[in-house]
Amino acid sequence: MEWNNLLNIVVKNQGLHARFLNTLSFMENAGARKISSCEHPIEVSLLQLKHAAEEHRHAYYLKKQIQKINVNWCLTYNADELLAAVSTKQYLNQLDIKACRLLKQQFNLTGKDLKFAAYLFVTYAIEVRADQLYPIYQEVLSEQKSRVMVKSIILEEAGHLEEMITQLERFSVDWQSVAAQILDIENELHSAWFKALENDTRQWF
């Protein structure tokens, strides 16, 4: 199955759709927290503050969209209010752990420097994914004339990818070869996450 097939099924079913929005909100929130936790206590840039603020807004915005389906649904991030809860958490954690391991080897970093490098590369990989996923989602929403909308997120995510590339270029001239390896790791984890979403969706029918 492809993303648009899965999303067509999800958007048609209100219970599934609310949980999907909540799952994306959970991920955005985890991403926002990650960015904030990687901030240098003193030397935090305007760009990093902007990025954290926007990811927090995405988490809020997606949660708010659920109210268009049902105001009483998915009030928390409880596992039964998410789709593929275990795999969703694993995707984020594993990406972080595996990226840190690789970056430690490649650049010989520790402590704050490793944290910052992880922020750059992990966020980059997530932005590449977001730039693919949200437009497909919006297309399905428009086709099905859903009241849910993610257009404002798409605009900001495109900006984030550019900003990450700018920061990566400043970090290392050799960033692209390392980024390619991080994208491979992300690809594998994404496949596992997608499979889990498919399985979870099937259980609804």
Task: Compute the distance between CA of residue 205 and CA of residue 202 in angstroms, rounded to an integer.
Answer: 6
Cα 170 from chain centre: 23
Binding segment for Fe ion (CB under 5 A), chosen from 28-36, 131-139, 142-150, 197-205, is 28-36
Minimal distance, residue 111 CB to Fe ion, in Å: 25
The smaller minimum CB distance to Fe ion, of residues 107 and 171, is found at: 171
Residue 79: exposure state from Cβ atoms within 10 A (0-12, 13-18, ≥19): exposed
Task: Compute the distance between CA of residue 133 and CA of residue 37 in angstroms, rounded to an integer.
Answer: 25
Residue 137: exposure state from Cβ atoms within 10 A (0-12, 13-18, ≥19): buried
Tokens 């694993």 map to which residue? 90
Number of residues that bind Fe ion (CB under 5 A): 5
The smaller minimum CB distance to Fe ion, of residues 101 and 151, is found at: 151
Cα torsion at 104, 132, 24, 96 (round to 10°)?
-10
Q: x-or-dash pattern for Fe ion, window 117-156, by CB under 5 A?
A: ----------------------------------------
Angle CA(183)–CA(184)–CA(189) in degrees, nearest 5? 95
Task: Compute the distance between CA of residue 197 and CA of residue 54 in angstroms, rounded to an integer.
Answer: 26
Binding segment for Fe ion (CB under 5 A), chosen from 35-43, 51-59, 73-81, 104-112, is 51-59
- Which of 17, 19, 63, 160: binder of Fe ion (CB under 5 A)? 160
98 binds Fe ion (CB under 5 A): no
58 binds Fe ion (CB under 5 A): yes
Binding segment for Fe ion (CB under 5 A), chosen from 24-32, 90-98, 143-151, 169-177, is 24-32
The smaller minimum CB distance to Fe ion, of residues 117 and 130, is found at: 130
Binding segment for Fe ion (CB under 5 A), chosen from 12-20, 55-63, 75-83, 86-94, is 55-63
34 binds Fe ion (CB under 5 A): no
Least Cα distance to 178 among 110, 115, 98, 113 occurs for 98
Give contact residues for Fe ion (rule: CB under 5 A): 28, 55, 58, 157, 160
